[in-house]
Copies of this chain bind each other. A is one copy, B any other.
């Protein structure tokens, strides 16, 4: 897990809403996965790819989450502005990995580290399928040396 903020080339800001906290007044643990997903959709949009109404991406890819890992360092509260940092750390054959850091914008306190393994599925069979070359190229062009290409 990359902890250096400077390795994350994509940043998206969002605000904690009243319906995202629990009765302790802190953001519920499941909601951070929504925040990270917003980070990924905006990361991918920045690469020129849009999420379609079908849940398929505009380049024809169907990407599902295979695994999430999330560590909670410090809680976010109602109305906090958050920095969602997103990077792709590696690309394998059909899968690849997003890493996220979430900071409280005002104080620069690190709140959450998150890792999300994605898998590229064939739209008809729903079986894993090699990530196509055009997407590999787009990722390498954006991440440069920061991404490991593992197959």
Docked complex: A33-50 residues within 8 A CB-CB of B: 33-34, 37-38, 41, 50
The 3 closest A-B pairs by CB, nearest first: A30-B33, A24-B55, A23-B55
Which A residues contact B (CB, under 8 angstroms)?
Answer: 17-19, 21-25, 28-31, 33-34, 37-38, 41, 50-55, 62, 64-72, 75, 77-79
A–B complex contacts, Cβ < 8 Å, 12 sampled? A17-B34, A17-B37, A17-B41, A23-B54, A23-B55, A24-B55, A25-B53, A51-B78, A52-B78, A64-B72, A65-B72, A66-B72
Which B residues are CB-close (under 8 A) to A22?
Answer: 18-19, 21, 55, 78
Closest chain-B Cβ to A107's Cβ sits at a distance in Å of: 14
Which B residues are CB-close (under 8 A) to A18?
Answer: 22-23, 28, 37, 41, 51, 55
Given known pairs A28-B19, A66-B71, A68-B69, the reply for A79 and B41 (CB within 8 Å) is: yes
